[in-house]
């Protein structure tokens, strides 16, 4: 079975994680795919495949005799899809010999256009997989899952010699908790790769430092006719807070290594309001200054409207993995070699986001990120090519061969 065929099977399983949930996993439906994968892994020859009670799927392929001392390599992808857009009732469409032109997405009124996605012309002649415009596709990260399973299947069937290979499929990556209960000792690898990137050839070992911040604003509501010097409109205070942030430092205005504040939620009434932000920066000092600015804004608001008007909470989420990867840059050099051997041009770039690998690198498992062949994740414009997935599988197989003798 080819990787894209597995992807089509996996996207039919609803696994959207729930950012409001406090359970592990955040959505019980994630077990549906986890259990399916355990059965599939066992069927191809991964005898110890199992899912734990927190929905982490683990499996190992013991080293080929004679390669027991080879570097132990691991591969990781996540089960869940992003809560940003519906991941239920996914109906993919396969376009063979794609002509490189705009693509209408079902009857949704949405379309993949060259104006919005200039790379489409480069995909001409490939087999393109798109959505019907009403859901996301789920290639983030079911493509990574499919490619890892396909890699294992082909290594077993083709009797390719290898060192010990570990795999893990995690829940809840999309809500920031995919590594929370990852058992590094059980995984048993010296180094790992997350398969959770975009186009084939993407290679990432620098990511944002990340935090979430919430302003809770307590207003004072009184009849407007008697409000002079008394009313504190929580919604207006919220607007005032947002207005104090520097202009031009939102996701829309930034790229590359530039950080941002991103307002993700504004809700409330005159009586009480809430602002939620994510804070991102590759540079740790700049990241710290961004958090300090929010603290200063909260202090100014409380000086202006009275102590306790504004409560600010900041929660660190993950750090830039660069400092943990730099001491073992063979992970990057070998990934480049593996891509070149597969006919793929490596593109080393920073992640304007994060992966499980960012946190795993700080848990003792250095873990850069590899592309899976997909584009435009987290929404109805998500798409991927069969050829990109096939190339990504070859990259994984080449990495196994390189570390067999490393």
What tokens appear for 297 in the block? Answer: 């804004």
Catalytic site residue 147?
no
Amino acid 212: pLDDT:
94
**What pLDDT tens digit does each residue of the chain (406 aa) get?**
999 999 999 999 999 999 899 999 999 999 999 999 999 999 999 999 999 999 999 999 999 999 999 999 999 999 999 998 999 999 999 999 999 999 999 999 999 999 999 999 999 999 999 999 999 999 999 999 999 999 999 999 999 999 999 999 999 999 989 999 999 999 999 999 999 999 999 999 999 999 999 999 999 998 999 989 999 999 999 999 999 999 999 999 999 999 999 999 999 999 999 999 999 999 999 999 999 999 999 999 999 999 999 999 999 988 999 999 999 999 999 999 999 999 999 999 998 887 889 999 999 999 999 999 999 999 999 999 999 999 999 999 999 999 998 8
Give the separation between CA 158 and CA 26, rounded to whole angstroms: 38
Amino acid 227: pLDDT:
87
- Which helix (H) or strand (E) covers residue 17, if one does? none
Helix (H, G, I), strand (E, B) or coil at 329: coil
b/e map of 236-246 (b: 16 or more CB within 10 Å)?
ebbebbeeebe
Q: Which of 173, 190, 206, 281 is catalytic?
A: 173
Can you give 60-100 as a three-state secondary structure string? Answer: EECCCCCCCCCCCEEEEEECCECCCCCCCCCCCEEECCCCC
pTM of the predicted structure, to 2 decimals: 0.89
Domains with residue ranges and CATH for the chain: 3-206+320-404 (3.40.630.10), 209-318 (3.30.70.360)
Give the separation between CA 181 and CA 173, rounded to whole angstroms: 11
Catalytic site residue 173?
yes
Q: Which residues, including other chains, have CB under 8 Å from residue 19's CB and lie 6 or more apart? A: 26, 83, 175
Amino acid 354: pLDDT:
79
b/e map of 77-93 (b: 16 or more CB within 10 Å)?
bbbbbbbebbbeebebb
Amino acid 99: pLDDT:
98
Evaluate whether 64 touches 176 at the Cβ level (below 8 Å).
Answer: no
Measure the CA dihedral 262/268/270/272, to 10°: -90
Amino acid 55: pLDDT:
98
Give the separation between CA 404 and CA 71, rounded to whole angstroms: 7
Q: Which of 30, 40, 80, 204 is catalytic?
A: 80
Q: How far is CA 143 from CA 4, 284, 378, in A?
A: 8, 31, 13
Amino acid 12: pLDDT:
98
Amino acid 88: pLDDT:
97
Amino acid 62: pLDDT:
98
Amino acid 176: pLDDT:
84
- Which helix (H) or strand (E) covers residue 302, if one does? helix 284-305
Amino acid 252: pLDDT:
95
């Amino acid at each position: 079975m080819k990787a894209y065929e597995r992807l089509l099977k996996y996207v039919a399983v609803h696994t959207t994680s729930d950012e409001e949930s406090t359970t592990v996993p955040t959505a019980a439906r994630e077990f549906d795919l986890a259990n399916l994968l355990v059965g599939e892994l066992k069927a191809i020859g991964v005898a110890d495949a199992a899912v734990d009670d927190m929905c982490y799927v683990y499996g190992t392929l013991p080293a080929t005799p004679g390669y027991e001392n080879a570097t132990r390599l691991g591969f990781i992808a996540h089960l869940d899809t992003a809560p940003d857009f519906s991941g239920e009732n996914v109906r993919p469409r396969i376009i063979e010999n794609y002509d490189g032109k705009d693509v209408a997405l079902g009857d949704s009124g949405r379309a993949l256009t060259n104006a919005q996605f200039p790379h489409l012309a480069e995909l001409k002649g490939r087999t393109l997989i798109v959505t019907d415009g009403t859901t996301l596709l789920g290639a983030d990260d079911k493509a990574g899952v499919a490619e890892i399973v396909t890699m294992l299947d082909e290594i077993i069937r083709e009797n390719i010699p290898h060192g010990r290979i570990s795999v893990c499929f995690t829940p809840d990556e999309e809500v920031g908790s995919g590594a929370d209960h990852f058992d590094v000792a059980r995984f048993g690898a010296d180094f790992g790769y997350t398969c959770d990137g975009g186009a084939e050839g993407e290679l990432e070992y620098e990511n944002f430092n990340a935090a979430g911040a919430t302003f809770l604003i307590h207003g004072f509501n009184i009849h407007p006719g008697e409000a002079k010097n008394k009313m504190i409109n929580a919604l207006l205070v919220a607007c005032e807070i947002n207005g104090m942030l520097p202009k031009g430092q939102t996701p829309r205005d930034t790229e590359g290594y530039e950080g941002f504040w991103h307002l993700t939620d504004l809700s409330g009434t005159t009586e009480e309001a809430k602002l939620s932000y994510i804070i991102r920066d590759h540079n740790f000092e700049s990241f710290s200054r961004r958090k300090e600015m929010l603290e200063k804004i909260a202090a100014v608001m409380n000086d202006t409207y009275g102590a306790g008007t504004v409560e600010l909470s900041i929660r660190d989420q993950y750090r830039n993995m660069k400092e943990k990867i730099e001491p073992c840059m063979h992970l990057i050099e070998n990934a480049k070699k593996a891509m070149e051997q597969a006919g793929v041009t490596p593109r080393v770039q920073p992640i304007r986001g994060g992966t499980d690998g960012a946190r795993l690198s700080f848990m003792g498992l250095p873990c850069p990120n590899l592309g899976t062949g997909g584009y435009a994740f987290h929404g109805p414009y998500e798409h991927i090519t069969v050829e990109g997935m096939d190339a990504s599988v070859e990259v994984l197989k080449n990495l196994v061969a390189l570390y067999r003798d490393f």
